Amino acid sequence: MNRQALDLSTEYAAPRDAVEQQLAELWAARLEVEPIGIHDDFFELGGDSLLAAELQLAIDQLFGVEVPTWTLFLSPTVAELAATIVAELASA
């Protein structure tokens, strides 16, 4: 689906680093929406709790860090989730 077809509260902002880029690609594949901006809300794009759990598993495998599913509810944008992942990687 093209993002213009959705009524989003933010304008598109491109990923700024590799973590944001990889997350945007994961989201795009699961949500079937392109492009994914770093300030787009997972749930506004059509995400739900089942997709959040699926995404959590993919994040764990891709980055090698355990990110609880509830993290996506607290950090529902690529930028926020990337910051959480980077912090987890730094503390590991």
Q: What percent of the chain has pLDDT over 90?
A: 78
* Cα distance between residue 22 and residue 57, in whole Å: 14
- What angle do the packed helices 49-63 and 78-91 form, to 10 degrees? 40
Q: What is the pLDDT of residues 40-80, one digit of tens each?
A: 999 999 999 999 999 999 999 999 998 898 999 999 999 99
Cis peptide, bond prior to residue 15, ω within 30 of zero: no
Q: What percent of the chain has pLDDT over 70?
A: 90
One-letter amino acid for residue 56 of the chain: Q
Backbone angles phi, psi at 2, to 5 degrees: -85, 135
- Domains for the chain: give ranges and CATH numbers: 3-91 (1.10.1200.10)
